């Protein structure tokens, strides 16, 4: 399952990110494989989603979030 | 010495920069790009140091244009032997993430000072930093724990800086790698990042204490991003903001114009009459006034933008709007600059600085002048009152109001249309991901807001004001000077005319100015371009008004009333009636529906504003963009006006 399918307030553990550029970027932002994230916001009409990881909230466009696999 | 300021986005770096440098700062661009470069000066132990603020980044490896700037600068710093100190600001609540950047910089051999900022917030979140354990790990880096928003820990920072400035101690703490990989070497970067994360995690276990507690669920974000309530609230905030900008700024704007008129009158009294008096009182003083008059709008708009930004709301609004403007190659961040341009494109273009992606920023900046600004209102209302009949459509809709509304919509639609085309044409220069951190809500920090306002005013007056002043003096000169003999003859001719003989003193002066304007260089220019603008339904009088309104669109109305002062046909002195009764030689009306609409549409598109050009030049660093806007929108205005004139 990818991150876009997690409902608001839902928790998920990051399993894999199928996009080296995004994977490295998220790594640098402190989001690593195995981290637990919580979806905090969803913009209407297919806009970005936001998730909490540790103490920060990161927003990401749906097209990029598709690459983040969770369980 | 040069001191470099690094840190993640939202780590309180700007607050710290403002705390150290106060108002002694300069804002420019990094060479060749539109990324903001702030430098400031501060003294420490009688010695002056330059603080250079780099954009907020997560890593030294570039994944955005901001990071590319830091990467390029680091390559230079890395190879230089000059003494320098880097200050790395770390948000205490996201300590490990900040340490990631810190360790990369440390490994490059730069002497560093570590600032652990926003310690109060972290403690509230149940996070403690064991300073002794940390000092054990980082033996040679002075550490300052701070809360920059309230100025807490400033002395600790200055002491740490003094120590590092003297000692220049650098040490590679993680010794993973001290080379700067090529920006394309993603695989190496990733491998290094994984190693680095692991070392930091191991270290973090002894340094960072976390009390597990449930993050309190904030309902606020749910409301703010609600499909109906979220948009309604954003619309409401914008409405209040623009109402305030419109109404509140008019008082200081009137005051500035009044003051300069008084000064001009005063100067005229003690400077002997002649060219010099004219230059000072009619050229330079109104020119300065024409620059300063923008300051109230800039100050008010940036007060609101800084308030929304600093409190954390803007990030939510950007999140909400991103999807709507993305098809047009823009970013959620483009919405506020675009809508601000409906008040005035000057602050609107200056506000595009907040857009991180360079392509999205360029598109927003490029189309901003198409949004109908408040300077077009006098032009629209005059022309509407002349050519659009005062009647109701279907008994309810006021036709004149509908036309005004249509002109605004035309501006918005064409802005989006051009943006869409540019989005297709322009190539993405840097690979870019929309990954934005959404900061927590916090009470706005007044010093930050105040500094932003002062800085924007400074940039506008000092860097765009000079060009605006110079060009407005040129246009003033062209409209006030002309071939001397011809002008003298024209005046002699005027004095034989009946309308002049019968007129009172005021009417005589108005007639003289009309004749003098007609025979000025600008007047000659207006007549020369008549064949070119005749297909649009305009004559040389409108030609003059259009040329002079390049200063600012509302000048169109003033110039027309000057020219029409010399108009024998009409008995009235009111401009509107004169325009309505203006006839061609063959007895047909000059201002018809067709020529009126053609002229209004011309003003929707044409970049008739040299201040906009000066600001666009300042923001992009060259004349390329403003000239492209001038010619493209000029051509668009011409063609649309031509079509309208023949269609109606």
Residue B246's domain comprises 219-371
Co-location of B157 and B25 in the same domain: yes
Please tell me whether residues B172 and B198 are part of one structural domain: yes
Q: Which residues of chain B have a Cβ shorter than 8 Å from any chain A Cβ?
A: 58-59, 61, 63, 93-94, 96-97, 100, 125, 127, 186-187, 189-190, 193-194, 197, 215, 217, 221-222, 225-227, 230-231, 315-316, 319-320, 322-324, 326, 431, 433-440
- Are B355 and B481 members of one domain? no
- A47 and B100 in contact by Cβ < 8 A? no
Question: Token pair of B386, please?
Answer: 């002349």
DSSP bridge pairs for B89: B7, B115
Note whether B323 contacts A59, CB cutoff 8 Å.
no
Task: Give me the residue from A20, A52, A61 closest to B190, CB to CB.
Answer: A20
Cβ–Cβ < 8 Å for B107, B172: yes
Using a CB-CB cut-off of 8 Å, the residues of chain B touching A45 are 227, 323-324
Is B376 contained in some domain?
Answer: no
Minimum mean pLDDT range among A17-21, B243-247, B480-484, B519-523: B243-247
- Out of B96, B320, B440, name the one closest to residue A30 (CB): B96
Q: What's the distance, Cα to Cα, between the start and end of chain B in Å? A: 68
User: Which residues, other chains included, contact B593 with Cβ-Cβ below 8 Å and sequence gap of 6+?
Assistant: B387, B388, B648
- Whether pLDDT at B39 is above 60: yes
First to last CA, chain A: 6
Question: pLDDT above 70 covers what percent of chain B?
Answer: 95
Q: What is the pLDDT of residues B196-221, one digit of tens each?
A: 888 888 888 888 888 766 656 568 88
Q: How far apart are CA B153 and CA B146, in angstroms?
A: 5
Chain B residues touching residue A47 (CB < 8 angstroms):
319-320, 322-324
Q: Which of B10, B190, B317, B435 to mutate to test the interface with A (most CBs of A within 10 A)?
A: B435
Task: Tell me the chain B residues in contact with residue A28 when contact means C-beta distances shorter than 8 Å.
Answer: 58-59, 61, 63, 100, 193
- Express each pLDDT in B42-71 by its tens digit: 998 889 999 999 989 999 888 777 788 888
Any alpha helices (H) in A1-71, and if so which ranges? Answer: 20-28, 62-65
The per-residue pLDDT for B554 is: 85
Residues of chain A that touch chain B, judged by Cβ-Cβ distance less than 8 Å? 8-9, 20-30, 32, 38, 40-48, 50, 52, 54-61, 64
The whole-number pLDDT of residue B366 equals 96
pLDDT confidence of residue B374? 83
Neighbours of B492 (CB within 10 A): 9
For residue A32, the chain B residues in CB contact (below 8 A) are 197
Q: What does the alpha-carbon distance between residue B405 and residue B386 come to, in Å, rounded to a whole number? A: 17
More confident residue, B467 or B251: B251
pLDDT at residue A6, rounded to an integer: 93
The answer to whether the CB atoms of B125 and A55 lie below 8 A apart is yes
**Residue B435 with chain A: CB contacts under 8 Å:** 22, 25-26, 29, 58-60, 64
When CB atoms are compared, the residue of A32, A40, A56 closest to B197 is A32
B391 assigned to some structural domain: no
A30·B227 Cβ contact <8 A: no
The nearest alpha carbon in chain A to B93 belongs to A55
Cβ contacts below 8 Å, chain A against chain B, sum to: 114
Count structural domains, chain A. 1
Q: Is the pLDDT of residue B458 over 70?
A: yes
- Classify residue B459: in a domain, yes or no: no
In chain A, residues with a C-beta closer than 8 Å to the C-beta of B436 are: 58-59
Q: What is the pLDDT of residue A15?
A: 93
Q: Which residues pair with B43 in a beta bridge?
A: B48
| pLDDT of B571 strictly over 60 | no
**Do B166 and B42 reside in the same domain of the chain?**
yes
Mutate to test the interface with A, among B11, B122, B208, B433 (most CBs of A within 10 A): B433
Joined tokens for residue B532: 């070119």
Q: B79: which 2 tokens?
A: 């190879």
Q: What DSSP string runs through B125-160?
A: TTEEE-HHHHHHH-TTS-EEE-BGGGTBTHHHHHHH
Which of A47-61, B24-38, B137-151, B511-525 is predicted with the least confidence, judged by mean pLDDT?
Answer: B24-38
Among residues A60, A70, A39, the alpha carbon closest in space to that of B437 is found at A60
CB B385 within 8 A of CB B600: no
**Which of A43, A46, A60 is opposite residue B225, by nearest beta carbon?**
A43
| Within a domain: B383 | no
Nearest Cα residue in chain A from B435: A60
Q: What is the rounded average pLDDT of the residues B243-265?
A: 89
Residues of B in contact with A60 (CB under 8 A): 433-435
Question: Which of B185, B210, B235 represents a domain boundary (last residue)?
Answer: B210
- Give the HSE-up count for residue B414: Cα atoms under 13 Å, Cβ half-sphere: 23
**Residue B509 covered by a domain:** yes
**CATH label of the domain that carries residue A65:** 2.30.30.90
Q: What are residue B63's phi and psi, to 5 degrees?
A: -130, 5
Report the DSSP pairing between strands B84-91 and B2-7.
parallel
B476 shares a domain with B354? no
Contact check, Cβ <8 Å, A20/B225: no
What is residue B87's three-state secondary structure?
Answer: strand
Q: Which residues of A touch B187 (CB under 8 A)?
A: 20
Q: Looking at the complex, report in whole angstroms how far the Cα of residue A39 sits from the nearest Cα belonging to chain B.
A: 11
DSSP sequence for B166-185: HH-----SS-S--S---TT-
pLDDT of the residue at B217: 59
Per the structure, the count of domains in chain B is: 3
Which pLDDT score, from 0 to 100, does residue B176 have?
57
* Structure tokens given for B44: 């420490």
Cβ within 8 Å of residue B560, ≥6 positions away: B382, B541, B542, B545, B575, B579
Can you list the positions of beta strands (E) in B180-239?
208-210
Instruction: Indicate whether B187 and B284 sit together in one domain.
Output: no
Q: Is the dihedral of CA B9, B239, B379, B363 positive or negative?
A: positive
Cβ separation A45–B227 shorter than 8 A: yes
Whether residues B477 and B539 share a domain: the answer is yes
Q: Each residue of B400-413: pLDDT tens digit?
A: 889 999 999 999 99
pLDDT of B591: 86
Which of B312, B345, B371 is the last residue before a domain boundary?
B371
Which residue of A32, A45, A50 is in closest CB contact with B323?
A45
If you average pLDDT over residues B433-454, what whole number do you get?
Answer: 87
The answer, yes or no, to whether residue B178 has pLDDT greater than 70, is: no
CA distance B284 to B263: 11
Average pLDDT of chain B is 87
pLDDT at B542 over 80: yes
Least confident window among B4-18, B500-514, B559-573? B559-573
pLDDT at B515 exceeding the cut of 90:
no
Residues B330 and B348 sit within 8 Å (Cβ to Cβ): no
Is residue B439 situated within a structural domain? no
Identify the CA nearest to B471 among candidates B551, B415, B571, B381. B551
pLDDT confidence tier of residue B430, bands split at 50, 70 and 90: low
Greater model confidence, B507 or B399: B399
β-strand pairing of B47-53 with B112-117: unpaired
Instruction: Return d(Cα B346, Cα B365) in angstroms, integer.
Output: 10
Residue A41's domain comprises: 3-70
**Whole-number pLDDT of residue B420:** 95
pLDDT band at B234 (very low <50, low <70, confident <90, very high): very high
pLDDT in tens, B596-642: 999 999 999 999 999 999 999 998 888 999 999 999 999 999 999 99
Cβ within 8 Å, pair A23-B96 = no
- Of the partner residues B197, B319, B323, the one whose CB lies closest to the CB of residue A27: B197
Select from B158, B180, B210 the last residue of a domain.
B210
pLDDT at B175: 59
Contacts of A17 (CB under 8 A, 6+ apart): A23, A26, A33, A67, A68, A69
- Percent helix, strand, coil in chain A, to 5, is 25, 40, 40
- Give, in order, the Cα–Cα distances in Å from B403 to each of B409, B413, B589, B641: 10, 15, 21, 15
B20 pLDDT band, cuts 50/70/90, is very high
Contact flag B437-A48 (C-beta cutoff 8 Å): no
Beta strands in B92-126 (DSSP E): 112-117
Q: Which residue of A has its CA nearest to B190?
A: A24
Tokens of B35: 């990324």
What local confidence, expressed as pLDDT, does residue B214 receive? 60
Best of A43, A51, A53, A66 to disrupt the B interface (most B CBs within 10 Å) is A43
Q: What are phi and psi of B356, to 5 degrees?
A: -70, -35
Reported as a pLDDT band with limits 50, 70 and 90, residue B3 is very high
Q: Which residue of B has its CA nearest to A60?
A: B435
> Does the distance separating the beta carbons of A28 and B436 come in below 8 Å?
no
The predicted-structure confidence for B529-538, as pLDDT tens digits, reads as follows 999 999 999 9
| Entry field: residues in chain A | 71
The reported pLDDT for the residue numbered B213 is: 62
Mean pLDDT of A9-33: 90
Q: Do B374 and B343 form a contact (C-beta atoms < 8 A)?
A: yes
Which residues of B fall within a CB distance of 8 Å from A52? 215
B193 confidence band (pLDDT: 50, 70, 90): confident
DSSP bridge pairs for B620: none
Asked whether residue B103 carries a pLDDT value surpassing 80, the answer given is: yes
Q: What is the mean pLDDT of residues A4-9?
A: 91
Please indicate whether, in this complex, the C-beta atoms of A47 and B319 are within 8 angstroms of each other.
yes
Least confident of B181-185, B257-261, B341-345: B181-185
Phi-psi region of B140 (alpha: psi -120 to 50; beta: other; left: phi over 0): alpha
Tell me: do B186 and B137 sit in the same domain: yes
How much is the pTM?
0.86
To test the contact with chain A by mutation, choose from B97, B126, B176, B312 the residue with the greatest count of A C-beta atoms within 10 A, namely B97
* pLDDT reported for residue B275: 84
Confidence (pLDDT) at B140: 86
List pLDDT tens digits, range B575-592: 787 788 777 767 778 888
CA-nearest of B269, B355, B306 to B35 is B355
Q: What is the per-residue pLDDT across B122-166, written as a single tens digit (0 to 9) for each?
A: 888 888 999 999 988 888 899 999 998 888 999 999 999 999 998
Question: Locate tokens 């494109």: which residue?
Answer: B345
List Cα–Cα distances, B461 to B287, B457, B471, B551, in angstroms: 12, 6, 14, 16
B581 and B474 part of one domain: yes
pLDDT of residue B432: 63
Alpha helix stretches (DSSP H) within B330-431? 335-340, 345-350, 358-367, 377-387, 399-425
């Amino acid at each position: 399952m990818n991150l876009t399918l997690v409902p608001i307030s839902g928790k998920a553990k990051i399993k894999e990110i199928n996009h080296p550029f995004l994977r490295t970027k998220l790594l640098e932002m402190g989001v690593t494989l195995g981290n637990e994230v919580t979806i905090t916001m969803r913009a209407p009409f297919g806009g970005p989603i936001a998730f909490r990881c540790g103490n920060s909230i990161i927003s990401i466009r749906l097209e990029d979030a598709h690459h983040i696999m969770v369980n | 010495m040069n001191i470099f300021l690094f840190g993640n986005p939202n780590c309180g770096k700007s607050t710290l920069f403002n705390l150290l440098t106060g108002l002694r700062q300069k804002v420019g661009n990094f060479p060749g790009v539109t990324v903001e470069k702030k430098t400031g000066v501060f003294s420490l132990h009688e010695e002056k140091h330059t603080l250079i603020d780099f954009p907020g980044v997560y890593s030294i490896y570039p994944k955005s244009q901001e990071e590319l700037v830091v990467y390029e600068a680091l390559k230079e710093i890395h190879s230089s032997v000059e003494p320098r100190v880097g200050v790395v600001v770390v948000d205490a609540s996201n300590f490990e993430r900040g340490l990631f950047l810190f360790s990369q910089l440390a490994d490059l051999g730069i002497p560093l000072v570590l600032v652990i900022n926003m310690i109060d917030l972290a403690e509230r979140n149940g996070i403690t930093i064991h300073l002794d354990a940390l000092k054990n790990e980082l033996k040679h880096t002075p550490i300052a724990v701070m809360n920059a928003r309230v100025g807490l820990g400033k002395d600790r920072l200055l002491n740490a800086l003094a120590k590092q400035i003297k000692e220049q101690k650098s040490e590679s703490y993680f010794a993973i790698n001290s080379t700067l990989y090529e920006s394309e070497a993603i695989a190496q970067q990733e491998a290094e990042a994984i190693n680095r994360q692991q070392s930091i995690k191991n270290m973090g276990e002894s340094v960072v204490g976390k009390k597990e507690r449930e993050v309190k669920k904030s309902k606020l974000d749910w409301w703010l991003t609600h499909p109906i309530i979220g948009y309604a609230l954003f619309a409401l905030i914008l409405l209040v903001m623009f109402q305030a900008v419109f109404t509140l700024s008019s008082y200081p704007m009137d005051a500035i114009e009044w003051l300069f008129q008084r000064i001009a009158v005063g100067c005229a009294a003690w400077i002997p009459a002649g060219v010099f008096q004219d230059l000072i009182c009619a050229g330079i003083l109104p020119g300065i006034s024409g620059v300063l008059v923008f300051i109230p709008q800039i100050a008010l708009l940036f007060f609101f933008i800084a308030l929304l930004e600093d409190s954390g709301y803007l990030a939510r609004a950007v999140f909400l709007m991103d999807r709507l403007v993305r098809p047009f190659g823009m970013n959620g961040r483009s919405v506020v600059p675009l809508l601000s341009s409906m008040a005035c494109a000057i602050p609107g273009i200056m506000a595009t600085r907040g857009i991180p992606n360079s392509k999205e920023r360029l598109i927003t900046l490029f189309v901003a002048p198409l949004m109908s600004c408040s300077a077009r209102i006098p032009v629209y209302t005059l022309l509407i009152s002349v050519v659009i009949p005062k009647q109701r459509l279907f008994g309810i809709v006021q036709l004149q109001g509908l036309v005004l509304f249509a002109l605004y919509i035309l501006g918005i639609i064409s802005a989006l249309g051009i943006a869409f085309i540019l989005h297709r044409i322009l190539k993405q220069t840097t690979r870019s991901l929309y990954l934005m951190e959404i900061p927590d809500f916090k009470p706005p920090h007044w010093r930050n807001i105040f500094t932003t306002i002062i800085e924007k005013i400074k940039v506008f007056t000092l860097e765009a004001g000079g060009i605006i002043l110079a060009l407005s003096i040129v246009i003033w000169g062209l409209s006030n000077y002309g071939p001397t003999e011809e002008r003298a003859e024209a005046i002699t001719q005027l004095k034989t005319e009946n309308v002049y003989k019968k007129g009172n003193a005021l009417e005589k002066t108005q007639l003289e100015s009309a004749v003098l304007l007609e025979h000025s260089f600008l007047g000659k220019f207006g007549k020369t371009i008549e064949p070119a603008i005749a297909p649009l339904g305009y004559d040389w009088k409108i030609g003059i008004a259009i040329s002079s309104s390049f200063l600012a669109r509302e000048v169109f109305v003033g110039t027309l009333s000057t020219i029409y002062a010399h108009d024998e046909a009409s008995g009235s002195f009111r401009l509107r009636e004169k325009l309505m009764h203006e006839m061609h030689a063959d007895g047909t009306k000059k201002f018809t529906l067709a020529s009126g609409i053609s002229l209004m549409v011309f003003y929707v598109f044409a970049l008739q504003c040299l201040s906009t050009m000066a600001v666009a030049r300042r923001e992009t660093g060259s004349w390329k963009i403003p000239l492209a806007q001038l010619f493209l929108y000029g051509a668009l205005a011409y063609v649309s006006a031509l079509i309208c004139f023949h269609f109606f």
